[in-house]
Structure formats: C-alpha cells, structure tokens
Amino acid sequence: MRGPHNIWRLIRTGATLERTGAMSVVMGAFNPPWAFRVAARGLAWPFQWLGLKGDVSRPPLTRALTALGPAYIKFGQLMSTRPDVVGAELARELQVLQDKLPEFSVEEAKRTVAAELERPVDEVFSEFSPPVAAASIAQVHRARLAEDGRAVAVKVLRPGIERAFQTDIDAFYLAADTIELLSPASRRLRPHDVIEHFESVVAGELDLRMETSSAAEFAANTDGDDGFQVPKVEWFLSGRRAMTLGWAEGIAANDLDAIDAVGHDRPALAERVLQLFLSHALRDGYFHADMHQGNLKIAPNGDIIALDFGIMGRIDEYTRRVYAEILFGFIRKDYRRVAEVHFEAGYVPADRDIDEFARALRSVGEPIFGLDASRVSMARLLAYLFEVTERFGMQTRTELILLQRTMVVVEGVARSLDPHINIWQVARPIVESYIKENIGPKALLRDLTKTARVVARFGPKLPGMVEAALIRQSDPEETPKPRGWARDLTWMFLGAGVALVSAWLVGLI
C-alpha cells in the first residue's frame, strides 16, 4: 500500500545497510559522487540502530540484502554477475543469492503443491526431496512421478512472497518519486516508469502458470538450437503457486572448478551463451531475461540448460531491427550509421547534433573494439555511457530495460566462463546473419507481402466504406470538413488499388 509510511521502509533500508556494514561496501564498489556519499551516510548513520540485523554469519552486503527482502535480493543477483563492476570477491559473495538462500520447510512446500494440484502429494510423487535450490521467489525440490518414475523438478513459491514483494515495490515507488522531485535531471531516466515496469515483470514471476506457459513457448522456439536445452513442461502438474518441469541433470554454470574437472571447453561455452542470447532476442524476439549463472546448467554432453522462466523478455520486430543495426554499426565501426539509427528510432531528441553524437559514440566504441574482456573496464565504460546519455538528453526506454539488463548479465556470465572473450567477435556472425535476413531486399519483399495480406482483408469492405463516406458528406445535418469528401474518396480509391495489388502479391509470393 503506497503512502508516507513507506518513508519508514526507506529509512530502514539505509539503516540496515549502515548497521550491517554494507553501506561501505556499496560505496567502495560503485564510487558515487562525494555529495551522494555524504547525504546517504548522513541520513542512514543516526538511524542504524533501527536497521535489520540479518544473518551475522554472512558477509555484509549479502547479510543486508537477504534481511531486506526479495526485491533487494534481485539487485544482488544482478551484481553477482558483474565481477568487472563490483570486484571478483564481492561477486563471489553475492553468488549465494542466486540459489542458496534460506529454505522453507518441506511440509510447507507439500501443502502448497497439494493445494495447487488438488491431490495428495504422495499420490502424485513417489519421492519428494528437501530443497535442492532456494532463491528469492521460490525453491526447487527434486521429485519422482508415481506414474512412470520419471525425475522432475517441482518449483514452489515462498509463503507470503506476494505481499513481501509488494511491500518492497511500494517503497521503491516512493524513492523514485522523491528522486524525481529533488533531482529534475533524473527525470530523463524515468525512475517511476522503471519501477512500474519492474512491478509488471514481478507480477508475472509470481504466477507460475505464466512461467509454465513461458517455458513451453521458449522450448518451442529453441527446439532446433544446437547445444541448448529447455526442460519439458508438465502442464497438468503445474498451477499458480507450484509448477513441475523435467529434471535437468548438469553442473551449475557458476561451479567453474567442476566444469573444468569434467573437461568442458569453457571458452566455447562462453561463446555459445552469448550467441544463443543474441539469437533468441533477434531471431525470435523472445528471450530468457534472467540468465544469471544460477539459472544455467551444463549438461554432461556439454549442452547449456536454461532454468527458471519467470522473467522473459519480448521485443517487437521493429525494435529488433534497430537493436541489430546499432550492434552491426559498432561491429563495422560505422558510428555515423549508429547515430542515425538512434535518431531515426527517436532514442535521441531530434534537436541534438547528429555529428556530435556520432563522435561521442566513436569515443565509446574505439577504446574497447577488438579487446578481450579482461582488458575492458565495464565499470568505467558504463559510467562514461551514462555521461553520454545525459549529455544528449536520452531518456530511459522502458520497453528496452529487460533487453539491456539481460545483455549486461549475459555478458557477465560469458566473462566468468572466459575472461578473455572478445564480445564483438563472438556477436558478429549472429548479427550479420540477422541483418542479411531482415534488413535488405528479402526483408522488404517479406514486409510488402505482410502488408498486402493485411490490406487485402479490407477489400470486401471498400464499397461500403466509400458509400458511407459519400452519405456522411451529403448529410445536411453534419458540417462537412474542408475537402473532406475528396480526402475520403482519395483514400478509398487508393485502398482499392492497394487491395488489387495486394491480392496479386499474395497470389504471386
């Protein structure tokens, strides 16, 4: 419930960070401006006695985030994929947030499953293990079907998780509104819209029926992808608070020692993770938007297995083309074209200087192009990109938040598997293939065909539309608009012509 009472939640957040020692860790990792440091510490320090104590056996930041709740844990999961930003030691500490959080009891899980399936658990499963993984939203149990003995994974939402998330999000709204009020410059980042987008994403993640559907769609899209697996969905053993998938046997993607021990090729895995993500985003417009190491396994045969489909991203065809052209422009070092695409898509206000923007993009791309990941400081790069976006008045695009966030996470996963990966070189074949198929003569012909099919459906309605236009213009009670009849008739005849051409194209192609 939104309201002033959320001020208390924000104070307690700062107090918890201060009490657990996490405030110093955050300041050291992100190195914010001194004014922000003074303000944050000044507001939090006097109230640190009000902060949550957390699990004193955990490192400071992990202790604070787990005490604060699931939405904060999500933030920690993102940081755990970026050792190049927060440091290798802190990233390692935060990896426990991916799948090693405190568990709730097997009995509670069984009650939830029985309520969702409307059948006793022992009637459905011959085995039901203690939790094998526990994350911010749910935990997973290994089970065996009583019917045929197949091993499955049963995911169960945490008790009260819906209320806990809503509590956090309400406080985030207050923080966003306060930031917009106190810092007009921040409004271009649209913090309120960002939180609204986050809330909609979380709402889908808290309904496992939606996740079941997402897993099925993702499996269908990726069925032909070499070296990639999605567990089979058990539709009739899934509901709102519990879902069942086929069991995925493999090594967690964050267990690098185990991956090395069995002889998997880590550089090849790193390339495949990045190329698969780009393929799914560009080819399908539907991608796994939570691809941290805790949601990936390496199968015995070397396949990458994706898990946890609560957060999925979808981008339309136009946005895919824009995204591909931007990537391709960077790959070819055609910064002028990259700038043009930003202006054409409306990402940069039209009153800005396109040549200056191209020059700024060159200053971003040239220092990192051709370098392996170990020689690129992502923290410095992100800081400079923020400066560029501020200088040219670029606003946050909420429709791209998941894509951009996932790209950061996937690149971090690829780096962890191969610190020397060359991102541009790995991305090039996927982007070039997409450009060839979707931006050129073949794509133009395909677009015309789609347009023709849509327009052709209006063919039978054209006579009635013309007649209605004539009656409307001749009605003495209706004040005719200047040249309205000519405009309407022109569009009607143009429509008829397009319909005829469309019918021909549909029959031809």
Chain segment 210-242, per-residue pLDDT in tens: 999 999 999 999 999 999 999 999 999 999 999
CA-CA distance, 4 to 489, in Å (whole number)?
Answer: 58
In 226-336 the beta strands, taken as DSSP E runs, fall at 228-229, 242-246, 251-252, 286-288, 296-298, 304-306, 312-314
Handedness of CA 224, 229, 230, 236 (dihedral sign): positive
Please calculate the CA angle 142-199-26 and round it to the nearest 5 degrees: 85
Q: What is the CB neighbour count within 10 angstroms for residue 183?
A: 11
In 3D, which of 327, 322, 334 has the Cα closest to residue 429?
A: 327
Domain boundaries, the chain: 6-98, 249-439, 442-508
The tens digit of pLDDT for each residue in 112-130 reads: 999 999 999 999 999 999 9
Q: What is the pLDDT of residues 480-508, one digit of tens each?
A: 444 454 555 454 445 545 444 444 444 44
DSSP sequence for 294-319: GGEEE-TTS-EEE---SSEEE--HHH
Q: Which residues are marked as active site?
A: 290
pTM of the predicted protein model = 0.74
Task: Say which amino acid occupies 284.
Answer: D
Task: Give the CA angle between residues 242, 245, 248 to the nearest 5°.
Answer: 130
**Residue 306 φ then ψ, to 5°:** -90, 140
- pLDDT, tens digit, for every residue of 361-414? 888 878 777 666 666 655 566 566 667 777 888 876 766 777 877 887 888 889
pLDDT in tens, 198-216: 787 777 788 999 999 999 9
Contacts of 499-502 with C-beta under 8 Å, sequence gap 24+, read: 499/455, 499/456, 499/458, 499/459, 499/462, 501/452, 502/451, 502/452, 502/453, 502/455, 502/456, 502/459
Q: List Cβ neighbours of 188 (8 Å cut-off, separation of 6 or more).
A: 389, 390, 393, 394, 395, 396
DSSP annotation string for 124-170: HEEEEEEEEEE-SSEEEEEEEETTT--EEEEEEEPTTHHHHHHHHHH
